[in-house]
Chains A and B, each alone.
Chain A
Amino acid sequence: AQTVTQSQPEMSVQEAETVTLSCTYDTSESDYYLFWYKQPPSRQMILVIRQEAYKQQNATENRFSVNFQKAAKSFSLKISDSQLGDAAMYFCAYRSGSQGGSEKLVFGKGTKLTVNP
C-alpha cells in the first residue's frame, strides 16, 4: 500500500519570504501522480500543484514550485514571496497512475503553515 509522510506538523514564514514544505512517499508503482492541496480554515480543499511521475521537469504554478526527487521518493513544495492568504493546512497526496481502478488520493497528515506579517 502507498503511504505519504509529512514530517513537519507546523511551519511558519515571514510575509514575502520563501518556505519549503517536505513530503516523502512510498510506492512500488512506476506510474503515479503527486499533488499538493491547500485547505484554508473554511475547509474547502484546493489543488495547488500536480506532478506526473514520468515527467522529469519540476512543476511550477506562479509562486508555487516543487522539487520532485523520484529516486528518493521526495516531493517538496516551495512557496516564494509568501502572502497572508497562503496560511492554511497543506496536504501532500499520491494517486496511482493505473487506469481502470481506484483513483483515490492517499494523503499525508498535513502541515499547518502560518504566515507572519
Chain B
Amino acid sequence: EAGVAQSPRYKIIEKRQSVAFWCNPISGHATLYWYQQILGQGPKLLIQFQNNGVVDDSQLPKDRFSAERLKGVDSTLKIQPAKLEDSAVYLCASSPLFREQFFGPGTRLTVL
C-alpha cells in the first residue's frame, strides 16, 4: 500500500513570495490533515478535511494561508505572502474515518 505522498520535499523562498505544497493521501482515506511543525516543537494542526469539506481550520492563519481538497482526494496548501515565521516542516496526514493518522514525509520550507 502506497503511503502519503508530498511534494516538494524542500522549498526555499524569500519573504513575501508565494508557495504551494501538494499532498496525495492514501487511497480511500476520507480524512486529510495539514500540520505545521516548527523546529523544536510538536506538529500543530492547520486544517482538517473530511472528503472535500473542512472540519477544523481554527488554527489556520486565513489572511495568508489557504487550502483546498478538490474531489476529496489530493490537497494543496498555499501561503501568500510568506513570512519569516512560516519556516517550518509542513506535514500532511490521512486516515480512514475515526482511525489512526498516517503521515507523509513532509515539506521543509525555509523563508529568507
B-binding residues in A (CB < 8 A): 4, 35, 37, 42-47, 50, 91, 93, 99, 101-105, 107-110
B12-61 residues with Cβ-Cβ distance < 8 A to A are: 31, 33, 35, 40-45, 48, 55-56, 58
Shortest CB–CB separation between residue A100 and chain B, in angstroms?
Answer: 9
A-binding residues in B (CB < 8 A): 3, 31, 33, 35, 40-45, 48, 55-56, 58, 89, 91, 93, 95, 98, 100-106, 108
A107, B100: Cβ atoms under 8 Å?
no
| Given known A-B contacts A45-B91, A50-B100, A104-B33, A91 and B56 have beta carbons under 8 A apart | no
B56, A102: Cβ atoms under 8 Å?
yes
A93 to B103, CA, bound (A): 14
Shortest CB–CB separation between residue B90 and chain A, in angstroms?
Answer: 11
B43, A107: Cβ atoms under 8 Å?
yes
Residue in B42, B56, B91, B102 whose beta carbon sits within 8 Å of that of A110 in the complex: B42
A36 to B33, CA, bound (A): 18
Point out the residues of chain B lying under 8 angstroms from A105, CB to CB: 35, 43, 45, 101
| Given known A-B contacts A43-B89, A47-B100, A91-B42, A104 and B48 have beta carbons under 8 A apart | yes
Would you list 28 pairs from A and B whose C-beta atoms are within 8 A, ordered by A residue? A37-B103, A42-B105, A43-B89, A43-B91, A43-B106, A43-B108, A44-B104, A45-B93, A47-B101, A47-B102, A91-B42, A93-B42, A99-B98, A101-B56, A102-B45, A102-B55, A102-B56, A102-B58, A103-B31, A103-B48, A103-B55, A104-B48, A104-B56, A105-B45, A107-B43, A108-B42, A109-B41, A110-B42
Point out the residues of chain A lying under 8 angstroms from B108, CB to CB: 43
Apart from A4-B42, A103-B98: 14 A-B pairs, beta carbons within 8 A:
A43-B91, A43-B105, A43-B106, A44-B103, A44-B104, A91-B42, A91-B43, A101-B56, A102-B55, A102-B56, A103-B95, A104-B45, A105-B101, A107-B44
Q: Which residue of A lies closest to B58 (CB)?
A: A102
B48, A109: Cβ atoms under 8 Å?
no
Query: Which 10 A-B residue pairings sit nearest by Cβ, starting from the closest?
Result: A107-B42, A102-B56, A45-B103, A104-B45, A43-B106, A44-B105, A91-B42, A107-B43, A109-B42, A108-B42
